[in-house]
Amino acid sequence: MMPFFGQRSLKRLLWPCILITGLAAAAFTVDSQIIEVGNTGLFFPVTDGDVVSHEFTHSMYDVRVIERFRIENGCLNLFHVASESDAALEYYGIDNRHVNNANRQIREFGIPVASIGSHVLNIRNQSVFLGALQASEHSIHIRLSSRPAIVNGFYSLWR
């Protein structure tokens, strides 16, 4: 009696199975960086060198402030704070208006829900008006994180 699968048929099936398994394993081990906005499931893929800006009206000085962050080595590097007000810059401990007037590395920052009406996050030519988000907590956290690239791909397809 002849077996259902011969030796040659098994070898033909084995190589595609090994290839598919290897690709799946690689897809789950290759991480990509994302900016997560609150706990709403809203995220934006980013890479090292990308610039993210946060614009808002400073509550103490009632002036517009722009914080610029560069994605570097898994951190948000605050490299520039811009404002028309010297007092607002002094609040950050900054005494000049040069492009690289700050240097602070963080992984996340929070914005109190009570003040989110005038906050705008700009990521890769997209603006997120934080006042339009539904927040269930006291703060909306903006964080840099990473997850497997394949997971981000599925989330992007789902959205």
Q: What would the mean pLDDT of 86-95 be, rounded to a whole number? A: 92
What percentage of the chain exceeds 90 in pLDDT?
48
Compute the distance between CA of residue 76 and CA of residue 36 in angstroms, rounded to an integer: 12
Average pLDDT of 23-51? 83
Bridge-based pairing state of the strands 108-112 and 75-83: unpaired
Q: Is the CB of residue 65 less than 8 Å from the CB of residue 81?
A: yes
What are φ and ψ of residue 43, in 5° steps?
Answer: -145, 160
Q: Is 122 within a domain?
A: yes
Domain-embedded: residue 137: yes
Which structural domain, as residue segments, surrounds residue 114?
A: 31-158
| Predicted pLDDT of residue 87 | 93
Count CB atoms within 10 A of the CB of residue 137. 10
Q: According to the model, what pLDDT value does residue 147 have?
A: 80
- Position 1 confidence tier, pLDDT thresholds 50, 70, 90: very low
When divided into structural domains, the chain yields a total of 1
Mean pLDDT score, 121-150: 85
Question: Does 19 reside within a domain?
Answer: no
